[in-house]
Each structure stands twice: as structure tokens, then as C-alpha cells.
Chain A
Amino acid sequence: MKVRIRSVHGKNNIKRKPSERIFDFFNAFIMIVWGLISIYPFWYILVMSFNTGADAAAGPIWLFPRVFTLENYAFVFQYDRLQSAFIVTTLRCIIGPVLSVFVTMLAAYALSKRFLLGRKTLLFFFMMPMFIGGTIISNYVVIAKLGLLNNFLVYVLPGAFGFFAMIIMRTHIEQLPEELHESATIDGAGYVRIFFQIILPLSMPVIAAFSFFAVVGNWLDYYTNLLYVTDRNLSTLQFVLYEIINRAEASSLIDFTKTTDAAQRRLMSMANNTVPTPEVIKMTVMVVVTFPLLFIYPFFQKYFVKGMLTGAVKA
């Protein structure tokens, strides 16, 4: 099923009244403006990240870089914290969703069996925390007492099971033809085998949608980092971006003289008058942190729309 907005009016234009034409024109115009507003900020930071800092500070830039340079990226990519944050974020974007799919799918499969004793009770058990949960403080205390502060596991464990995702997956599993299950049973397959060889392969569209959401969630999350992780080696991309935007981190990034390479680069760019300012550094980092997700999102669109629909139909 695709979310295609069905056209509710006939295609022929001859029948349209003048008032309808005016309406259609303004409607289309507003939609175009809305689309442009949605993407212009991203275009703007991209343009600024390719512009020299000194020039960007001199006057407004609207649509294209005025003095083109790649120097900003050269500086940003040499920043060691950004490199380690990239590794940490990529790792959690792989481990988190895989773990999550497993835990949630297993539970969804078990709960799709109507004969399971205590099924209602278990559902209630899983649903309760949606309404009464811990507060920011009680969560912190639990995480701290479990020894998960400054631990990579804090990124992947607490969110591994999600009630909503489980319900969507269960709905999907219930819609699979029962005959598959029966013939597999006759062939001597047990629950474990059926799960891995029949249920999982047949649930790939839902799993793809769910994994995509999990990757997005992991990529965008900085809250976990802010609350539970102070170890700078375990920082995530969003958190590094947060620091660069909010503190003097940007200037320290420009001012590194730790390696001779970096010092040389700085001298060179000083000669060319292309030393980045904190402003353009911020934007370059923003591009680096934001754009990867924007590029993979259109490819997953058909999956997540489908995934959302499975849930919506149920609700």
C-alpha cells in the first residue's frame, strides 16, 4: 500500500469554474512556498559551508557561495572528537536497531499466538509504562545504579524494546497466512525454526521500516548523551554539534596546533585568507551531522509509509 493521495476530482480542466482555478493556483503556490521553506535552511548551511569565513561575515549571502573554498571541511575533518563521535554514532546506529528488531520481533511473535496463557496480562504489563513512567530523575538514578553511566550500552539498551513497534509487528505477523505455519509444523519445524526461517524473512518490509526509524532515532538522539555520558570519547555526533554551537568549541577547533600538519594547514590558509570563522565552522559541522540522514531518507520513504500504515489501520 502506498500513500498516494487519490485525486478526488476528475482530470479534465474544462469543467473547472474560475473560482476553482484561482483556488488551485493559490493552493499550488502556497505548497511550493512551503516546500521551499522546508529545504532552504539546508541549502543555506550547505552554501555557507563552502564559503570562506571572512567573506561570510562581510555581508549577506542568499543563494550561492560567493568565495568558494573547501578549507572549512579540511578543518572540520581533522577534528579528532568529530571522528570518534562519528564512529560511536555509527556503531549505535547499527547495534541499536539490530538489537531492537530482535527483542521486539521475538516478543511480537510470541504475543501473536492467541493460545498463549497470560497473553492479556503480558500485554498489560508492556503497556503500563506508556502511561505511568519514570521521571528524568528516577531514570537517572536507575541508570546510575546499574553502572550504565559512561557506558556504551546506555545508548542501545534502554530503548531496545518499544511497545508501539511491537504492536505493529504483531499486527503484521497475525496477517501472515496461517497455512505457512501449519505446513512448516507438519515438516517438523519448531517455533524457533519457524521464527527464523518463515516469520523473519516474510516480515522484511516491516523490519525495514522499523529499522529505519530506529536508525533515525539513534542518529538524532543527544539527550542520552547529555544525561548519562560525560566521557568525551563516547560523545555522539549530535552532542559534539551541540557543544560546537553552544560553547567556544568552534574556535578551539580552528585553533588546533597539536600536530605539525594542522599548524601547517593553518599557516597556509592564513596566507590564502581562508581561515574559517566559528560561524562557518558551525555550519560545516551542521552539514556533516545532518546531511547523511537526509540522503538516505528518500530511499526508505516507501517502507516507513507502509510501516506507519500498518499501525494506523490497527489504531
Chain B
Amino acid sequence: MITANRKMQSITLSQKKRRSIKGQNTYVLYLFLVPAIVLTLIFAYLPMFSNYIAFLDYDFNKGWFGFGSKFVGLDNFKKFLNDPKFYTLIGRTLLYSTTMMIATFPAPLILALMLNELRGDRFKKIVQTTSYIPHFVSWVTVAGLFYMFLTVDATGIVNNIRQLFDPDATRISYMQDAKNFLPVLLISEIWKETGWGTILYLAALTGIDPQQYEAAQVDGASRFQRLLYITLPGLVPTMCILLIFSLSGLLATNFDQVFNMQNKMIRLDTDTIGVYTYYQGLVSGQYSYSAAVGLFQGIISFILIMLTNATTKRLSNVGII
């Protein structure tokens, strides 16, 4: 009886929702949408369509979106594919992004689980709040901090610590060696974003039914077993969504991060596709060529996001589309 009543209620509610205000035209609602539509058209769809310049020999001064420029078909793509740099760039970008993904994906999960096991709500809260802080600084600042801590100067904390243990150690300028670039990217990403990344996991943890834990405790499950069989499965949907998003960036490194961490000495040995596009296009002015490089990257990202979405949807019924 009660359920029937509820059903009735929900039916009338949904019917009401469908009805518009009597005597008022819904055109007002369309007016509400105008700013959003205009902004999306200009700042999202126009750039999307002007990817077209990748197929032109684009001359910036000849009319809107290259109407006066010569059509060259796939020449720009061919140029990129024949560029000896192509394989180095793709290889390096893949190396950086896969390593980053493998190393940074589990970090927030682990931190969230450790936070979850902490005793004392106040203590948890404080650790949580402090671990969010690095998220609120820019990559410019983070790069500045890393340079400062890794120099040979007196501010180079890493060298200072090394010399505490071994006074004879020679001070090393870490940032001048391209070999150290990937570790620096990893450490800075983990330092900056791990704490922030726990938010969604912690939110998902509040959604797990406490009765499950109580029942498990009664059945004699150990703490580790509870973690393995209750907590982790509860986090799987969140993990899937985050995984889709991170996989879509497989061929894209964080421009802000790489760009700021580079310096003149190691730039050519640490360029990724994103940064290369910026220097080729906006610094050297080869618009069409770098548009082709960027488009290439965009298409691969799109394919990746669709593939992962389809896979996770089939495996666990979680998807973003």
C-alpha cells in the first residue's frame, strides 16, 4: 500500500515536471541558454573546425580561417611522419605519460585507504587538509620550488641533506641533466596532486554501508580482510571513472608541468608533443605544421577514451558516456 502510494506520488511529480508554466512561453528558457550556446560555439566549436588549417599551407594574414590559403591535403602530416624527430617525440611522450600514469594512478587510492584506517577524526581531518594544500599552487611555483631545492646553491635542500650524511659529497645540479627529468615529473606530480586525488575516493568511502563492516566483524573478518572484501570493491566504480580520464591523456603530457620544469639546457632532450607543438607553432610560427601535430595527438586521445570507455562499460558497467 505504501509503495503504491509512493508510486502515485512519483508519477504525479514527474507529470508536473513535464508541464511548463501555463501561459508562459518557454522561449524565456531558450534565452537563458543563449550565452552558453554562443560561448560554446565560439570557443569550442570554432577551434574544433579550424583544425582544418592542418590541411592547408596556412597564411595567418589571408582571411578568416585560411580561406585564402592553399590546400595541401596531408602534406603536413607527411612532413611530421618523415621528421626524424617524430619517433623520438612520440616515444618520449609515451614513456613519460605511461610512467606517470602507472606511478600516479594508485597513489591517491593508497593515501585514501591509509587515511581511512587512521584513528581519531581530528587527526584525519588535519592530515586531509594539509595534503590538499599543494593542489592550490601553480606549476610555475612548483617548478620554482623544485629548482630551488635541487640546485647546487645553499638553497639546494637535497644537496644539503646529502652533505649532512657525507660532508665530502659533491653538490649536483640535478635539473641540468635530462636523465633526471622524468623522476622530477613523477615526484612533483605525486607531491602536488595525490592529496587532492583522495577526495573522490573518500566520498565513495562514505557511501559504503556500515552494516557490511559490522557483519564482517561479527563473522570474524580481520581488518585486512575487511579492507580487501568491502572497502576496495566499494571503490571500483570511482577507480574506473578516474582510469578512463587518465587513459584519455595517454598521449598528452601536462603542458603546464613539462613546460615549467624545462630549462634551456635540457629542453631539446625533454620536449613532449604538447610542448613541441607550442614551440613550433607559436614561437616559430609554423601554424599548419603544428596544427597537424596537435590534431594527430587529439585523434589518438579520442580513440583511446572511446576504447577505455567501451572496455570499462563491458567489464563493470561504469562509463562516462
Contacts and interface: CB of A to CB of B under 8 A. Distances in A.
Interface string B278-309: 10011000010011001101100010011000
B53 A5 contact: no
Given A8-B116, A190-B24, A245-B143, A38 B130 contact: yes
A39 to B, nearest CB: 5
B173 to A, nearest CB: 15
A113 B44 CA distance: 25
A141 B50 contact: yes
Interface stretch (A22-30, A67-75, A78-86, A258-266): A22-30
A166 to B, nearest CB: 7
**Interface band, chain B:** 35 or more
Nearest to A8: B213
Interface stretch (A54-62, A90-98, A267-275): A54-62
Nearest to B47: A134
A298 B46 CA distance: 39
B205 A297 contact: no
A227 B282 contact: yes
Contact of A242 (B19, B128, B140): B140
Contact of A286 (B51, B118, B144): B144
Nearest to B289: A137
Given A126-B40, A190-B24, A35 B33 contact: no
A233 interface: no
A135 B21 contact: no
Interface in B175-225: 191, 195, 199-200, 202-206, 210, 213, 223
B272 interface: no
A24 B119 contact: yes
29 contacts: A1-B206, A3-B203, A5-B206, A8-B231, A35-B131, A38-B195, A106-B35, A107-B35, A113-B26, A132-B298, A135-B51, A138-B48, A138-B53, A138-B291, A140-B281, A140-B282, A141-B287, A157-B43, A161-B36, A190-B24, A191-B24, A216-B136, A221-B138, A238-B141, A241-B141, A246-B263, A279-B148, A279-B155, A301-B129
B127 interface: yes
Nearest to B22: A185
A227 B155 CA distance: 31
B123 interface: yes
Contacts of B39: 103, 157-158, 160-161
A293 B226 CA distance: 39
Contacts of B105: none
A139 interface: yes
A37 B191 contact: yes
Given A132-B302, A140-B281, A191-B32, A34 B43 contact: no
A166 B32 CA distance: 13
B200 to A, nearest CB: 6
A67 B143 CA distance: 26
**Interface band, chain A:** 35 or more
B90 to A, nearest CB: 16
Q: Tell me which of B50, B65, B143 has the highest count of chain A C-beta atoms within 10 A of its own C-beta.
A: B50
A38 B131 contact: yes
Nearest to A60: B160
Contacts of A204: none
B28 A138 contact: no
Contacts of B295: 135
Given A113-B20, A223-B256, A308-B200, A138 B129 contact: no
A211 interface: no
A115 B20 contact: yes
B28 A245 contact: no
A34 B141 contact: no
B4 interface: no
Contact of A106 (B36, B118, B128): B36
Contacts of B123: 28, 31
A31 B36 contact: no
A279 B153 contact: yes
A172 interface: no
Interface in A296-315: 297-298, 301, 305, 308-309, 312, 315
